[in-house]
Amino acid sequence: MVNKTDYGEVLRDRDAGIYLSNTVLIVIGTVIGIFGNLTVIYFYLVRIKERGERYFIPLLAIVDLCACLASSLFIVMHNTFFYNYPSDIVCRILTFLQVFVTGLSGHMLLVICFQRYLLVCKPYGPKMTVFWKKMSFALACVFSFAYSIPLLGMSGTKTTDKIFLNHTVATTLCKFYAEDSSTNSLVYFGLLGLVMVANITITAALYIPVISKIQVVLSGKIAKGNRNRKISSKTDAGANDTSFNNTTKTEETMAANHEIQRESISKTRNDFAKRRITIMFFVIILAYILSYLPSVVLLIIAYAITDFDYITFTEGETIAWTYLSRIVFLNHIVNPFIYSYFDVKFRAELKTCFMCKR
pLDDT of residue 18: 92
Residue 303 has pLDDT above 80, yes or no: no
Could you report the per-residue pLDDT of 245-290, keeping only the tens digit for each? 555 555 555 555 555 555 544 445 555 666 777 788 888 888 888 8
- As a whole number of angstroms, the distance between CA 109 and CA 328 comes to 14
Q: Which domains does the chain have, with CATH numbers?
A: 7-357 (1.20.1070.10)
pLDDT score of 111 more than 80? yes
Query: Which residues have CB under 8 Å from 18's CB, separation 6+?
Result: 315, 318, 319, 322
Q: Indicate if the pLDDT at residue 152 is higher than 90.
A: yes
pLDDT digits (tens, 9 = 90+) for 37-92: 999 999 988 888 767 778 888 999 999 999 999 999 999 999 999 889 999 999 99
* Cβ(26)–Cβ(72) below 8 Å: yes
Which of 158-172, 231-245, 344-358 shows the lowest mean pLDDT across its residues? 231-245
Contact 248, 230 (CB under 8 A): no
> What mean pLDDT, rounded, does the chain reach?
81
pTM for this prediction: 0.80
